[in-house]
Structure 1
Amino acid sequence: MKHARLLAIALLFAVPATAQQAPAADHGSKEDAVAVLATIDTMFKALAAKDPAGIIAVTVPEGRATGTSVTDTGEHRLTSSDWAGFAARLAKVPGKPVERNIDPHVHVDGDIAMVWTPYEFTLDGAFSHCGINHFDLIRVQGVWKVQNVTWTQRRTGCPGR
């Protein structure tokens, strides 16, 4: 019995460290990823319709919308607001805003999700800008909601342009 214990201890230390790590956490299902992207699509439809209530419906009140951009003069700008402030500014957007994600990467673990994706933004069908969107989502009572979105904004180096 003593030898069996010693052998078990020796084998434990002989196993590579990577094999001793805890198993990976659940990274969500394909259904989770589809639901996360559907939430973002719903947000984009509300944006295009300039519908503040639609934005509020898919977001968490405590969350933030934060953007970074570089002006034509090279000045770096940072804007940030809560979702109510973001939604209230929709009426001031000229024309019809349409945002389209390009090749989104979705990561889900339990009730949190993150999406990293290049995007393109148009106004009345004309190119406005592009950048990267980073969405943080949480599942609240079984429904995915956008907690935060952070984005870059530029007019050059855009995918497909």
Structure 2
Amino acid sequence: MKYFAALFIFCFALNANAQKSEIENTVKTFFDGFHTKDTLKIKSVCHDKMILQSIIEGQKGTKLVDEKTTEFYKSFSTFPADMKFEEKILSYNIQVDGAMADAWTPYEFYINGKLSHSGVNAFTFFKENNLWKIIHIIDTRRK
């Protein structure tokens, strides 16, 4: 009986680690598309009903900003061709409960190699047709 209990716990841990790895890969795919301005790649990991929000901290206080996904996807076409940007993810804290998960990812954002701002992304995921899709992104931004 102890053998079966140990086997069950081992299999459960393997499954949990596999799901966390899938979620981390979803975030990495999102940022691969983001850095290459590839909206099709980004859309491949985002749900159609995705919500985007930012909490911007500044000298005049803190404000919550909503962004429409259509505007987010369109924005890539307005970036100058010579502008290079990179969002460096510093770590992943992933939690899973059935078909819902979240990932907390501290980051630093660079424009043309210079630190622009930093903060935390909070991704919420929904597992649909055996794929993790991003349904909500909220981030903090501070200089």
The interval holding the TM-score normalised by the smaller chain is 0.7 to 0.9
Show CA shifts across 1:60-108 (max 9, x none).
111111111123x424333212322211112234512211221211001
Counterpart for residue 51 of structure 2: 64
Residues 1:118 and 2:90 are matched in the alignment: no
Counterpart for residue 13 of structure 1: none
Counterpart for residue 30 of structure 2: 43
- Return the match for 2:127 from 128, 136, 139: 139
Q: TM-score, normalised by structure 1?
A: 0.73
Q: How far did residue 128 of structure 1 move?
A: 1.0
Residues 1:91 and 2:77 are matched in the alignment: yes
Counterpart for residue 22 of structure 1: none
Counterpart for residue 130 of structure 1: 118
Structure 2 counterpart of 1:90, one-letter code? F
Greater share of strand: 2
Once the two structures are overlaid, the 10-residue window that deviates more, 73-82 or 83-92, is 73-82
> Do the aligned residues in 2 keep the contact of 1:136 with 1:146 (CA within 8 Å)?
yes
Q: Partner of 1:137: helix, strand, or coil?
A: strand
Unaligned runs of 5+ residues in structure 1 are 1-25, 156-161
Structure 2 counterpart of 1:127, one-letter code? L
Q: TM-score, normalised by structure 2?
A: 0.81
Question: RMSD in angstroms over aligned alpha carbons?
Answer: 1.8
Unaligned runs of 5+ residues in structure 2 are 1-11
**Whole-angstrom distance in 1 between the partners of 2:75 and 2:113:** 20
> Do the aligned residues in 2 keep the contact of 1:49 with 1:96 (CA within 8 Å)?
no
Q: Partner of 2:102: helix, strand, or coil?
A: strand
How many residue pairs align between the two structures?
129
Structure showing greater radius of gyration is 1
Identity of aligned residues (%): 25
Relative to 1, partners in 2 of residues 1:84 and 1:54: Cα closer, same or farther, differing over 3 Å?
farther
Counterpart for residue 39 of structure 2: 52
> Do the aligned residues in 2 keep the contact of 1:47 with 1:97 (CA within 8 Å)?
no
Structure 1 counterpart of 2:129, one-letter code? Q
> Do the aligned residues in 2 keep the contact of 1:56 with 1:83 (CA within 8 Å)?
no
